[in-house]
Structure 1
Amino acid sequence: MALAESDLEFIRNDIREHLAEWLAEQSLGKPPAVYEIELRERMVRVEEELKHQRELMREGFAQMDKRFEAMREDMEKRFEQVDKRFEQIDKRFEQIDKRFEQIDQRFEQVDQRFERIDKRFEQVDRRFDRNDERFDMLIRRQDRQFYWVLGFIATSLGLTLAALRFMV
């Protein structure tokens, strides 16, 4: 049971013509003029309420802007504090670097001292080596002298014994 296009058009026109009357009847039997006035009053109230809502929204946005500004200022202060802290840390690192440089210099000085001590030990070692050579030479010399003295004594003893044999 499909309706023809003309039937649908008729229904639309009828609804348009009688809609105001039907709405007026639903509002407790008020005539269309009173209903229209009420509608206009409602529209005015709605517009005023919308205006009030816009003002409230503007105030809210203004408060949010103030809040954001305060938060931004607070964040800037915090960032400045963080920057100051980083600067302090940088200064501390510079001090530590200076200390390390001083320690490096001390180590270099200690290394130089050790090198001087090593040179002294080398000198002492050379002196000991020379003294060892001298002692070795003295021992060889004394050994030679001992052999000569022993030879002389043995020869003298042999000659003395031979002379005593001839004499007796």
Structure 2
Amino acid sequence: MLRNMLTRDELIQWMRTELPRLLQEDPAFRAQVIGILSEALVSKGELTRLLDELRAMREESQRRFEAADRRFEAIVEELRAMRADFERRFEEVDRRFEAADRRFEAIVEEMRAMRADFERRFEEVDRRFEAVDRRFEAADRRFEAIVEELRTLRSDFEQWVRFSQQEFAALRVRVAEMGIGLGSLGLRMGQGLEEVIRQVIESFSGAGPLKAARLVLIDEAGELYQPGARVEIDALVTDGRRFLVEVKNYAKTDEVWAFHRKARFAEAKLGETFEKVLIAPAATASAVALAKQLGIICYTFRAAESRETSE
């Protein structure tokens, strides 16, 4: 009821004036208050012990903070020394970069001078190449003229070669005609025709080397002539391919027939098959046609167009 009637400030003032008197005058009240306070507050000894512990903790903390301060001071000093060393090093690096910059500037200037010198030299080279180009153009024109002249000479030479080849071909024909004629004449004079025939056969057949010999057979049964007559063939050319060769100065159809009969007689007599060749410097056209019909190779240089007259 007193609490409801007093304000907070009045209550505090009352406790300040009345509480000490009540504690002194009323032992029971004092004991009750002390019991209540002892449960909520520490004793003086405990408070002293707590204060000592707090003091010890404070001193330990102080020592640790002082040690930490000393360590931080050492770290700070080390960092300051490192910073000073870094600054010295960076200053050295700056000086080196400045020196490098100066060297690069000098190199750049030197390269600029070299470039200017190269440009002057290239201009001189260009002028020289232009002069060389003009010389080559003049040389090209001269070579073109020379090439045209050589082409003309080549054309003239080719025409001369073709003409010479034609002349040599005609000359070979004439020489062959002379060889056959002389060989035939030599046969009648006792000289060998076989060598001339061998050369002619090798020339037109592409075979060789060949062997040539005169072939003489005996007509014992009188199949061609009277019994016991000699059947003579101008040459038997052999060595791989086998040829029966007859040579005439001028071949006509009756001579083609005669050679055909002699060749068949020789094949029957010898039991072999031969390639039959008639060589004549000149022959009638009908003789050439008959030889082809009978399977005889007629090697002639001139075929006459006139008709044969029967004798």
Normalised to the residue count of structure 1, the TM-score between the two structures is 0.47
**RCO higher in 1 or 2 (8 Å CA, sep ≥ 6)?**
2
* Greater C-alpha radius of gyration: 2
In proportion to residue count, which structure has more strand?
2
Q: Please, what TM-score do these two structures have when normalized by structure 2?
A: 0.28
